[in-house]
Amino acid sequence: MTDQPLTAVSRGILPLELRNVSYQAGDKRLVKDVTCQFQAGHRYMVIGPNGAGKTLLLRLCHGLLKPAAGQVRWQEKDKRRVIKGQAMVFQRSVMMRRSAAENIAFALAARNVAKAERRERVEQALFQTGLTRVADRPARVLSLGEQQRLSIARAWALRPEVLFLDEPCASLDPPATHSIEKLLMEISAAGTTLIMTTHDLGQARRLAQDVLFMFRGRLKEFSEAERFFAGPENDLAQAYLKGDLLWWKRRPEEDCVQTQNKPNRT
Ligand SMILES: Nc1ncnc2c1ncn2[C@@H]1O[C@H](COP(=O)(O)OP(=O)(O)OP(=O)(O)O)[C@@H](O)[C@H]1O
């Protein structure tokens, strides 16, 4: 098997723009008026306390949820290309009752990748995620860390332009976390945009180019990572970084601080 670097992905579906996006379940507004833009080639970390709306935000971006208000707009207008250009790794990934290799092959078949190409992509994805030796093992008997790597391999095999990851290192030990971070940096270097949630601030510091801080369904701050970690402007984000509990009541009209000084960031 080749040890070549990860295959670069083509671009075209980004930027992704959210305009005043809200999400509602019953009479509860769970995501409120989120406006932001994701550019190609970046690594975005979405942080914030439990229940802040991070997973919902990813699902809205990925098209798994429909906004109650507002718009989720991709640069690419062809819906099939948009769907093909993205993949998601879930916090608790579902493995099929098949081998690790077959789990990846199945995902490729579902995306209509030609049979002749599938085998090579499966082998490459397994190799690049360090899973070749467990290729024929039932996916469900793999360790948690191996299963997370397999989820990433399965998503990566699709060659997405954008990869959404919902706490991919939750419950993993430091070596497993480190190896996944290394893998994500390689995927990023190959040109895939990463939009990921994490509770691990160390990890956010290591991986992020841009940080989105969420609190109670609102995007409170969207900044370049260096600037954010040097001292966020939003007081809740400051408290969060200090490890203070964020339980006090806030007024609903609070604005989001966006300190990105790039164009197109509203
Ligand atoms: N279908 C639903 N119906 C009602 N409430 C929901 C639904 N989906 C999510 N929620 C609530 O919305 C809030 C945000 O959920 P979300 O999973 O996005 O939080 P999170 O920031 O990812 O949290 P965590 O860090 O704990 O994973 C939570 O309070 C959750 O209970």
- β-pairing verdict for 16-25 and 257-258: unpaired
pLDDT of residue 175: 86
Structural domain total, the chain: 1
Q: 157 is written with which tokens? A: 């095999």
CATH code of the domain in which 42 resides: 3.40.50.300
User: Which ligand 1 atom lies nearest to the CA of residue 30?
Assistant: 12
Please tell me the residue having the least CA distance from ligand 1 atom 6.
25
Residue 67 domain boundaries: 16-96+161-242
Q: Which of 56, 92, 201 to mutate to test the pocket of ligand 1 (most atoms within 8 A of CB)?
A: 56
Report the run of H or E that residue 12 belongs to, with start and end: none
Ligand 1 environment, Cβ below 6 A:
25, 28, 30, 48, 50-56
Instruction: Report if residue 250 sits inside a domain.
Output: no
Chunked into runs of 10 residues, the chain (266 residues) has average pLDDT values of: 57 93 96 97 96 97 97 95 94 91 96 92 92 96 92 94 95 86 93 96 97 97 97 94 68 59 41
**Structure ipTM over 0.90, yes or no:** yes
CA dihedral 78, 82, 83, 85 (to 10 degrees): 130
pLDDT of residue 181: 94
pLDDT of residue 2: 44
Determine the distance separating the centroid of ligand 1 and the alpha carbon of 9, expressed in angstroms: 32
Instruction: Report if residue 264 sits inside a domain.
Output: no
Instruction: Report if residue 75 sits inside a domain.
Output: yes
What pTM value is reported for the model?
A: 0.90
| Beta-ladder partners of 175 | none
Q: Which of 27, 54, 65, 167 to mutate to test the pocket of ligand 1 (most atoms within 8 A of CB)?
A: 54
Sheet holding 218-224, edge to edge: 86-89, 162-166, 193-197, 43-47, 210-215, 218-224, 257-258
Instruction: Report if residue 27 sits inside a domain.
Output: yes
Q: Which residues have a Cβ under 8 Å from the Cβ of 14 and sit 6 or more positions away? A: 38, 39, 40, 74, 75, 161, 162, 193
Instruction: Report if residue 183 sits inside a domain.
Output: yes
pLDDT of residue 7: 65
Q: Is the C-alpha dihedral spanning 199, 205, 210, 213 positive or negative?
A: positive
